[in-house]
Amino acid sequence: MTSVAEPPSAADDAATLAALRAGDEAAFTVLVEQYHPVMVRLAMAYVPSHAVAEEVAQETWLGVLNGLDRFEGRSSLRTWIFRILTNIAKTRGVRESRSVSFSSMFDDPGDDGPAVPEDRFAPEGNWLLAPNGWGDSPEQKLETAEVQEIIKESIESLAPNQREVIRLRDVLGWTAEEVCNALEVSETNQRVLLHRARSRVRRALEAYFDGAESR
């Protein structure tokens, strides 16, 4: 599976839609393989268990199939699919009475402090403890299983709204516009959530590289 991909073009979407309408099982399989696991994970932010999230995603696919004739191509196909998903997930979440306010989950980026801890700056705002280098060719190290696991863990530990935004933007390579549309989040809040998420992941990597240095 490719992780970072160009968003499908309108022509790709039109071809997929035509195939689905014609009952093409292969086209449906491609779509499901691409999006179903992501959908289940996103639904997890709204509902209490993996089993319910799985149900939400399955219900979404039925909604997609039954709504094919209503899809007008004003948004991309995947944005439309994820809008259906979040609507079903919100409804299910309310029914399962999770104490989270869903309408505001992405509207309120919360406040979890600065990108870099205050104490690394001098009072006038310049670096006191500047970032260390990550060694020669860090790109290679960043792709090792060990470091990929660190990234994964730091994403898992984020608040759900930050986690979903960084996953869609940086793991899956969606555009800002697509994420705003799919999650019904404003451009500004999307950016704030992404900023906090990326800053946290960078700090996890920094901790790793600083530790590796002193070993």
Partner 1 sequence: MSERRTRRWLARLFRRGAKQQEPLACRELVELVTAYLERALPPADRARVEAHLAACPHCTRYLEQMRQTIAATGKLHEDDLSPAARDALLAAFRGWKSG
- Chain residues binding partner 1 by CB under 8 A are 1, 3-4, 23, 25, 28-29, 32-33, 36-38, 40-41, 54, 57-58, 61-62, 65-66, 114-116, 118, 121, 124-127, 130-131, 133-134, 138-139, 142-143, 147-148, 151-152, 155, 166-167, 170-173, 176, 187, 191, 194-195, 198-199, 201-202, 205-206
Q: Shortest CA distance to 98 belongs to which of 63, 54, 48, 55?
A: 48
Query: Helix (H, G, I), strand (E, B), or coil: what is residue 191?
Result: helix
Q: How many beta carbons lie within 10 A of that of residue 82, not counting itself?
A: 26
CA pair distance 165, 185, nearest whole angstrom: 10
State the minimum distance, in angstroms, from the CB of residue 59 to partner 1: 10
Give the residue with the Cβ less far from partner 1, 10 or 24: 24
Give the residue with the Cβ less far from partner 1, 102 or 134: 134
Q: Shortest CA distance to 89 belongs to which of 73, 100, 76?
A: 100
Q: Measure the CA dihedral 50/54/59/65, to 10°.
A: 150
Give the residue with the Cβ less far from partner 1, 37 or 73: 37
State the minimum distance, in angstroms, from the CB of residue 76 to partner 1: 18
State the minimum distance, in angstroms, from the CB of residue 148 to partner 1: 6
Distance between start and end Cα atoms, the chain: 35
State the minimum distance, in angstroms, from the CB of residue 194 to partner 1: 6
